[in-house]
């Protein structure tokens, strides 16, 4: 449990699967000849003599994930010092051994689900979970690297790529030697294709290449241009090809993707949990890619449920388990309440394909986490209570038939008030910034038509900007919006025929006006508390995170008034602009303060120059908070990391946001994802605004 968790508050850890009560019953061993799989670092689980509590069930899964270091079967493999100039840490060198053994196609006994048998004078292999028989040992040449955030997974992969350059080159020559099965076969490439959620992570990877390898020894290419077919030779002439999930999905939808016409030497999914929903375009696109080796990089292979892991298994094409039905039968169903606490299948399976180590191996001090409880001024409390009463009445109307999206918007209005105070006018209430933020936390902030990630609502357009359409609330990018306008349709998905507004907002949203005149505005108490905290440590580099750009703009105004220099990163900046900001912030003469939206900066970046993290609001998804802290708490950090979380006392931040993660999915489905859900049961809605 996190140190910052308030006492008596329920915390739903996204890295732990919550399985409701179990009734264990004895069953025969799943292993041939009763032989269990060997796990080197996992202590024996105590036998259960009664019903398994939800906490015990969660502990089982947490225990499994943290027992996958394979310390006794892996050895340190040195890198080629003519290619890689950095010395890898011990856990990175053992990861190279894990990668090599999985990619060999003949892993050792501890890393395979197959057992060799002999019957009637013939040898065969039998799958220890499904009992399927095969004349060959069918292996997926890849797996999951699930090390904690900040343990250097990217450097590990770069070292593995450098180590296999000669093998990759041989693989890429099979086309020239006429070894293809048919003229229609995908053309082999020596390249490792690395897919990431955003272009900013490509910059991060390239920075790693330049920092850890000698010039031109490991070549790379960005596959992001508009005329991507002209780049075709580059896809065969470089060791690494970078692209985003969105780029790959967009091209695949248009039927014009060269990525699908290539048989890659290796495909790596960075932040692989992004494909955990197998119904998304991102998953469908990467699943169709042809490759010799497949790898998933993620600190959370199981975020909310075991189906998350099932999507990764589908991508990896694990024989006999890569279909949802068979994965459910052999991995998910055994953990159901009516089957007892049968986690052994899960442990056996993960023990063969997954490697995971925690940050404990770095011997870094645990981050110090403070929760700053901010009291309202009397004027703020009066204003908040007025809004609270208004939205509470609106929730009661919502249960009687008003759209659930309005209910969700009401909750966000209260959350925004905690950050921005009474400065918001009636016009500002109609802005969709808060709804986009919510979708970012659910990882659904992408165009409903083309799957492009959207990080900013901006009617003026720009990279990764978009808007909500009315009345359907579909989120679309600027490109698809132009298509809507040309077709004289409000939405290309639901075929509404009214012209799209500048910002789509439910027409039944409550109208909120401020009783405080604009010219008497004072900065909110939360932001003034932040300012005091920053001023107390003027020489310390810090990062201020918020879900909302408008909050960061307000923080920027406050810092300017106090003559404090800062940089800011948000979704509407281009890749070049973000890179320039990060370079400036990391420089010796750069500002000590970096403002960053969670949707664009909480994932994948290495910002060990900072030692203080300020989170301006609690998150529905606590994994976002962990990601934000991991920007500083990682390899290379030499200072004590301190994280401060701001929560306004006596508000929805304190009473609901901290312990409503389970309800967030229902609200999202009602408000944005499934547009035909217009109601929520009162038992789910009413408690949010008691």
Q: What is the pLDDT of residues 105-153, one digit of tens each?
A: 999 999 999 999 998 889 999 999 999 999 999 999 999 999 988 899 9
Q: How confident is the model at residue 182 (pLDDT cuts 50, 70, 90)?
A: low
Q: How confident is the model at residue 686 (pLDDT cuts 50, 70, 90)?
A: very low
Decide which of 264 and 629 is more confident.
264
pLDDT higher than 50, residue 168: yes
Please tell me the predicted confidence (pLDDT) of residue 35. 43
As to burial, measured by CB atoms within 10 angstroms (0-12 exposed, 13-18 middle, 19+ buried), residue 513 is exposed
Mean pLDDT, rounded, of the chain: 78
Q: Which fold has domain 90-112+139-361?
A: Rossmann fold (3.40.50)
Task: List Cβ neighbours of 90 (8 Å cut-off, separation of 6 or more).
Answer: 76, 361
Decide which of 22 and 457 is more confident.
457
Q: What mean pLDDT is predicted for residues 556-563?
A: 96
pLDDT higher than 90, residue 19: no
In whole angstroms, give the CA distance from residue 86 to residue 89.
Answer: 9
Helix (H), strand (E) counts: the chain? 24, 19
Q: What mean pLDDT is predicted for residues 551-562?
A: 95
Q: What is the pTM of this model?
A: 0.77
Please tell me the predicted confidence (pLDDT) of residue 219. 97
- CATH superfamily to which 368-372+521-653 belongs: P-loop containing nucleotide triphosphate hydrolases (3.40.50.300)
Please tell me the predicted confidence (pLDDT) of residue 278. 86
Decide which of 518 and 63 is more confident.
63
Task: List Cβ neighbours of 230 (8 Å cut-off, separation of 6 or more).
Answer: none
Bridge partners, 133 (sequence order) = 126
Domain coordinates of the chain in residue numbers? 90-112+139-361, 368-372+521-653, 377-516+657-689
pLDDT higher than 80, residue 180: no
Decide which of 418 and 404 is more confident.
418
The helix/strand/coil state of 461 is: coil
Please tell me the predicted confidence (pLDDT) of residue 490. 57
pLDDT digits 0-9 by tens, 341-368: 578 899 999 999 999 999 888 888 888 9
Q: How confident is the model at residue 212 (pLDDT cuts 50, 70, 90)?
A: very high
pLDDT higher than 90, residue 194: yes
**DSSP output for 110-177:** GG-SEEEEEETTEEEEEETTT--EESS----SEEEE-PPTTS-HHHHHHHHHHHTHHHHHHHHTTTTT
pLDDT higher than 60, residue 562: yes
- Inter-residue contact 595 to 534 (CB < 8 Å): no
Decide which of 52 and 587 is more confident.
587
The helix/strand/coil state of 12 is: coil
In whole angstroms, give the CA distance from residue 600 to residue 449.
Answer: 21
Percent of the chain with pLDDT over 90: 43
Phi first, then psi, for residue 538 (nearest 5°) are -65, -25
């Amino acid at each position: 449990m996190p140190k910052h968790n308030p006492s008596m508050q329920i915390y739903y850890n996204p890295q732990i699967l919550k399985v409701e009560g179990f009734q264990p019953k004895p069953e025969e061993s799943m292993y041939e000849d009763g032989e269990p799989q060997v796990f080197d670092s996992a202590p024996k689980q105590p036998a259960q003599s009664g019903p398994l509590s939800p906490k015990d069930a969660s502990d089982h899964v947490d225990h499994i994930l943290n027992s996958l270091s394979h310390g006794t079967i892996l050895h340190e493999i040195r890198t080629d010092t003519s290619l890689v100039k950095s010395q890898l840490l011990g856990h990175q060198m053992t990861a190279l051994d894990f990668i090599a053994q999985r990619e060999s196609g003949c892993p050792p006994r501890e890393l395979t689900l197959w057992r060799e048998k002999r019957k009637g004078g013939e040898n065969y292999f039998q799958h220890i979970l499904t009992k399927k028989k095969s004349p060959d040992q069918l292996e997926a040449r890849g797996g999951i690297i699930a090390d904690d955030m900040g343990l250097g997974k990217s450097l590990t992969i770069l070292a593995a790529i450098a180590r296999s350059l000669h093998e990759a080159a041989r693989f890429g020559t099979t086309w020239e030697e006429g070894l293809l099965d048919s003229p229609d076969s995908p053309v082999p490439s020596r390249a490792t294709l690395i897919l990431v959620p955003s272009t900013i992570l490509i910059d991060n990877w390239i920075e790693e290449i330049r920092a850890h390898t000698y010039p031109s020894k490991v070549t790379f290419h960005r596959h992001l241009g508009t005329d991507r077919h002209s780049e075709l030779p580059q896809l065969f002439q470089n060791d690494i090809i970078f692209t985003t999930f969105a780029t790959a999905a967009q091209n695949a939808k248009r039927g014009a993707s060269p990525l699908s016409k290539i048989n890659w030497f290796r495909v790596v999914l960075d932040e692989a949990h992004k494909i955990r929903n197998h119904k998304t375009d991102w998953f469908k696109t990467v699943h169709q890619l042809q490759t010799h080796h497949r790898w998933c990089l993620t600190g959370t292979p199981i975020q909310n449920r075991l189906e998350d892991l099932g999507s990764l298994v589908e991508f990896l094409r694990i024989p006999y388990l890569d279909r949802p039905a068979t994965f459910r039968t052999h991995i998910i169903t055994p953990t159901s309440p009516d089957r007892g606490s049968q986690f052994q299948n899960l442990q056996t399976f993960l023990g063969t394909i997954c490697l995971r180590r925690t940050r404990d191996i770095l011997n870094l001090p645990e981050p110090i986490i403070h929760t700053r409880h901010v009291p309202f001024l009397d004027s703020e409390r009066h204003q908040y209570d007025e809004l609270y009463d208004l939205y509470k009445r609106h929730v009661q109307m919502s249960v009687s038939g008003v759209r659930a999206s309005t209910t969700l918007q009401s909750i966000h209005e209260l959350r925004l008030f905690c950050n921005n105070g009474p400065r918001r006018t009636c016009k500002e209430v109609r802005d969709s910034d808060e709804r986009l933020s919510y979708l970012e936390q659910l990882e659904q902030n992408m165009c409903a038509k083309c799957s492009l990630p959207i990080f900013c609502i901006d009617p003026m357009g720009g990279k990764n900007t978009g808007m909500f359409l009315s009345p359907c609330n579909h989120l679309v990018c600027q490109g698809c919006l132009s298509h809507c306008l040309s077709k004289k349709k409000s939405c290309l998905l639901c075929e509404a025929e009214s012209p799209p507004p500048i910002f789509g907002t439910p027409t039944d949203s409550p109208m909120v006006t401020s009783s405080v005149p604009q010219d008497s505005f004072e900065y909110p108490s939360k932001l003034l508390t932040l300012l005091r905290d920053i001023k107390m440590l003027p020489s310390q580099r810090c990062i201020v995170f918020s879900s909302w750009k408008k909050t960061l703009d307000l923080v920027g105004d406050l810092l300017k008034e106090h003559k404090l220099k800062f940089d800011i990163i948000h979704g509407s900046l281009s890749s070049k602009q973000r890179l320039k900001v990060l370079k400036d912030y990391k420089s010796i003469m750069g500002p000590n303060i970096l403002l960053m939206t969670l949707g664009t900066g909480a994932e994948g970046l290495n910002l060990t120059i900072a030692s203080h993290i300020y989170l301006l609001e609690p998150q529905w998804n606590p994994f976002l908070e962990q990601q934000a802290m991991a920007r500083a708490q990682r390899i290379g950090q030499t200072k004590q990391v301190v994280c401060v979380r701001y929560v306004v006392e006596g508000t929805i931040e304190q009473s609901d946001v901290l312990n409503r993660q389970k309800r967030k999915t229902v609200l999202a489905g009602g408000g944005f994802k499934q547009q035909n859900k217009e109601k929520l049961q009162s038992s789910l809605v009413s408690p949010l605004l008691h």
